[in-house]
Structure 1
């Protein structure tokens, strides 16, 4: 059981983790296998106090080195969802389950592109986790649409259950798939069905009849991360203490809205970390 779990290894997440660690709290950071921080692509950061003309990659390395020096553990698997029990949170990271008393969401803004019909049929044949929902499709036909090679493992797992697995990669690679997985190099256009269940995946050049669709994204959509999280448009609604509407859950950085600046992310990470540390202290006192 960790005191605090931080979801995201960018400026906000690492700032939160460092400040939590300094407050002598047991913390873990979920970074994901493929870092997606926009800071990595910044050729020059000119408005971060004390570090003129530093590249985004250099700045992020300084953050990571700081966390490493404090021996803050990083967990590379992608967080699929978070469940709240009566006393703590359970983080599902690719079906490895880690418990924590508090959670700080610092995922940034995932640049998710939704396929028409994706949101409508979520829970009605559309899923973001093959390992979670795969057993529902035994001896049926499913499609896996993946943004990176993580989907190959999911497709291989499904091929042991489903009668037919179609794999639609949205990336180019040498694919490592079981022989009974059929690769379709085409662009998803629309998901259709009736009022109850998905029936068809329309691609640019063809349509396939399916019972289920698994979308493997680089980052889980914020709205699917934890049930009941209150949003403000496309970002997480927080107060000045970076508290969300769910007690024990805090958020920081780009996922809370504009301005999308590294200084704002680091500052919010600090506040979220302090708030989470205070929350954990309160919870532990109540237990005693």
Structure 2
């Protein structure tokens, strides 16, 4: 199936785009999380969302869920690793699965963690962002997984079935649930070293010899997600219609720039959704 619109992200921007595209009878797919948005869910209080004074993040998330449920919008819980513009459509890679859509709306939010030294230099040379995609390349080798969320634990368990040694470095304080054979290192990564390929991960307190390092984050840099995207000050460059430099691709929310506010994201999601609909109708 080729969808009319693929929406990557289930926060305020992505859901706003989804409901407005659905109202206009477009065939959509929304990639995201069952929690919709971890940032919304954790907000102690939201004071500037028009019409909802003093609401907390959980209440806002529950309202979002009721809205999309009432419209029959489902969330596809798959992590998108790459998106490629194929001319007349987009090819969307989710581990071993491939989805197709005529248009794409990027609403993944922003990743506030900056790359460590060597991370971008060794991308594709031992550094990756999807452990389940590249795990077969590290059979019987040593791998470090730097996890920023609980989904990283599942990826670590999967890699552990193939690799000789797996080190897990959690960047969060919650309880960890992984295979007992995996060595957990509670430290902070500082640098990736190597000649042509990765051979060492330097942490604040120690260094470990590894053949590969995976960073499992809530979102990855947009220009790594979709090659060819024009960036500006660390965000996707868009116009007033939320169009990017790639025809058929739109972006909304935090990923398109500051201020990082829920109400701004919702408004941009609306615009992106309507722009995608207009693009389809013209085609």
Work out the CA distance in 2 between the residues paired with 1:113 and 1:78.
20
Q: CA deviation at 1:222?
A: 2.4
Where do residues 39-188 of structure 1 align in structure 2 (5 Å cutoff)? 39-171=40-172, 172-177=174-179, 179=181, 181-188=182-189
Structure 2 unaligned segments of length 5 or more: list them: none
- Distance change >3 Å, CA 50–CA 159, structure 1 → 2: closer
Provide the C-alpha distance between the structure 2 equivalents of 1:46 and 1:157, rounded to a whole number of angstroms: 42
Q: How many residues align?
A: 281
Look up the match of 1:286.
none
Contact 2:110 2:219 in 1 (8 A): no
Higher mean displacement: 20-29 or 161-170: 161-170
5+ residue gaps, structure 1:
284-288
* 8 Å CA contact 1:33, 1:78 repeated in 2: no
TM-score (normalised: structure 1)? 0.88
Q: What is the TM-score normalised by the length of structure 2?
A: 0.90
Query: Shift of the alpha carbon at 1:193?
Result: 1.4
Contact (CA 8 Å) 2:36, 2:61: kept in 1 or not? Answer: no
Contact persistence 1:159–1:178 (CA under 8 A): no
Over the aligned positions, Cα root-mean-square deviation in angstroms equals: 2.1
Instruction: Give the direction of change, closer, same or farther, for the CA distance of 1:14–1:126 in structure 2 (3 Å limit).
Output: same
Residue 68 of structure 1 and its aligned partner are, at CA, apart by: 1.2
- In the alignment, is the contact (CA less than 8 A) between 2:95 and 2:133 conserved in 1? no
The answer for the alignment partner of 2:232 in structure 1 is 232
Q: Is the 8 A contact 1:237 1:244 kept in 2?
A: yes
Rate the CA distance shift 1:140–1:47 in 2: closer, same or farther, 3 A: closer
Secondary structure at the aligned position of 2:186 is classed as coil
Cα distance in 2, alignment partners of residues 159 and 44 from structure 1? 40
Rounded Cα–Cα distance in structure 1 between residues aligned with 2:186 and 2:54: 42
Deviates more, 1:243-252 or 1:1-10: 1-10
* Secondary structure at the counterpart of residue 79 of structure 1: coil
CA offsets 1:205-246 (integer angstroms, 9 cap, x no match): 221111111111122332321111111111110011110011
